[in-house]
Amino acid sequence: MTNVLITIQYDGTGYSGWQRQPHKKTVQGEIEKALSKLCKQPIKINGTSRTDAGVHAYGQAASFAGDFEIPVERIKLAVNGLLPKDIYILSVEEVNDDFHARFSAKGKTYQYKIICTHERDVFLRNYYYNIDKDLNVSAMREAAKCFIGTQDFATFMSSGSKVYNTVRTIYSLDIIEEELDTKVKSIKEKVVTIEITGDSFLYNMVRIISRTLVEVGLEKLKPEDIPFIIKAKKRSLARLIAPPGGLYLNKVYFDETEIKERII
């Protein structure tokens, strides 16, 4: 048996999310189809994160095991030739037998991208959350600090999840402000990226936290409201959710030291 870890980039726009579903186009489904063809046997992969429909990945991870003839170092080129153009395997590596992309993961970084513009940029429609007002970034940074640490994040979980322990650790939550050169009338627009690293995340947690931070940026919530909203453990206090197109799974960590480097 060869156990393999693959790192995957995808544009989630055209997919009903990561997870395999009958009669639906999913990222996992497409990768399994390509790998099964290549390995001449049915391959099932385990992804680290079951991203929702429309959510993107710069570095999703997945593992699979099998007895196949193709050497591991040849898989990358061969599988990319079989995959649709919106999925790309960045790397393929052999791992220990006990490795499992979901259970061996020590943490993840997500990015949530927002663009503040009155003029819609058609090329960004599936990749940024478009807000037609300015955001108060320093208020968002103040609010962001309140999320750091090991806390019960029940407020920030969508219903429908079967998770009972809602305690999670957020290692870092940065608000990055940049300017983007849009082609709409050649104006520069403000892009605000929320970058969040944690041990693991509840269902829709990143999108609910992002939308809550946007409310702070819009000055509808104050940074000092956040500790109260967290402690309440009530979704009703953070009802809104940011749209999927702004969300990117950036990186999966399998090594504790790598996460620690991030936090410092």
Residues in contact with a second copy, total (CB under 8 A)? 21
Site for a second copy in 29-68 (CB under 8 A): 56, 58
Q: Which range in 95-103, 178-186, 230-238, 255-263 contacts a second copy by CB under 8 A?
A: 178-186
CB of 71 to a second copy, least distance (A): 20
Residue 181 is a binding residue for a second copy (CB under 8 A): no
Strands 2-10 and 87-95: what pairing?
A: antiparallel
Q: Which range in 29-37, 84-92, 152-160, 224-232 contacts a second copy by CB under 8 A?
A: 84-92
For a second copy, the closer of residues 58 and 254 by Cβ is 58
Residues belonging to the active site? 52
Residue 224 is a binding residue for a second copy (CB under 8 A): no
Report phi then psi at 121, rounded to 5. Answer: -100, 110
Residue 128 is a binding residue for a second copy (CB under 8 A): no
Q: Are 90 and 184 in contact (CB under 8 A)?
A: no
* Distance, C-alpha 27 to centroid of its chain: 14
Interaction site with a second copy (CB under 8 A): 9-11, 56, 58, 80, 85-88, 90, 119-123, 125, 127, 183-185
